[in-house]
Amino acid sequence: MFYYIEGNAAEIEPNLVVLDCGGVGYALNATTNTISYVKKGERTKLYVSEIVKEDAFDLYGFYSKAEKRFFEMLTSVSGIGPKAALSILSANTPDGLALAVSSGNEKALTVAPGIGKKIAQRVILELKDKIGKESASLDDSFTPVATVQTDNSAVNDAVAALTILGYGSNEIAQVLKTTDITGMTTEQIIKAVLRSIVK
């Protein structure tokens, strides 16, 4: 199993990056967001997700772990294949997709080519459930955040979205303790936490 592939970007095509590693070219299907970070001839590291079928073995490359994580979650949704997942992630950054799922924003998903309202609704429904399960499976260090979100569904959804993006529970908890989130929507809370984390 590949975790990441690092090499020189030998070729860049629409939705495809070829990384040369010691004379071997690995063809990685990629989103437009990932491709925007890649420059031909430069050394590049992409995180890899593999899709194995009876007649194919395809590699998908992502500039960030968050994008890879969302790709794998999207392809686990009924009716969403790799091409549809790439389409959704090409139209949304991982942060934007987390916001869309947490706030139930179907329009953010339907802007992706080939994604209709029914599929968007299914993605939101199934990913919200998966995000909730992932949050619930976290260790005891998540307790401070859980306490903050007890009777605030907006905070609950924001924390779940931030967690799936890869931010640590202690990191999120510290920001929430020092941020006035009274009356904020899920989207506003996520943005406020991200602003503090990236300072």
* Contact assessment for residue 12 and residue 40, using Cβ atoms and an 8 Å cutoff: yes
Over residues 118-136, the pLDDT tens digits come to: 999 999 988 876 755 554 4
**Which position has the token pair 């924003």?**
105
pLDDT tens digit sequence for 64-96: 988 998 999 999 998 899 999 999 999 888 877
| pLDDT of the residue at 59 | 96
Q: What is the pLDDT of residue 61?
A: 96
Euclidean distance between CA atoms 21 and 34, whole angstroms? 19
- Please tell me the predicted confidence (pLDDT) of residue 169: 67
Question: First-to-last CA distance in the chain?
Answer: 35
Q: Which residues of the chain have pLDDT under 70?
A: 129, 131-152, 169, 198-199
Tokens 């602003």: give the residue: 195
Report the predicted TM-score, pTM, of the whole model to 2 decimal places: 0.68
Structure tokens at 161: 């979205």
DSSP β-bridge partners for residue 85 = none
**Encoded tokens for 155:** 């905070």
1: buried, middle or exposed (CB in 10 Å: 19+, 13-18, 0-12)? Answer: exposed
Element housing 40 (H / E): none
Burial class (CB in 10 A: 0-12, 13-18, 19+), 10: middle
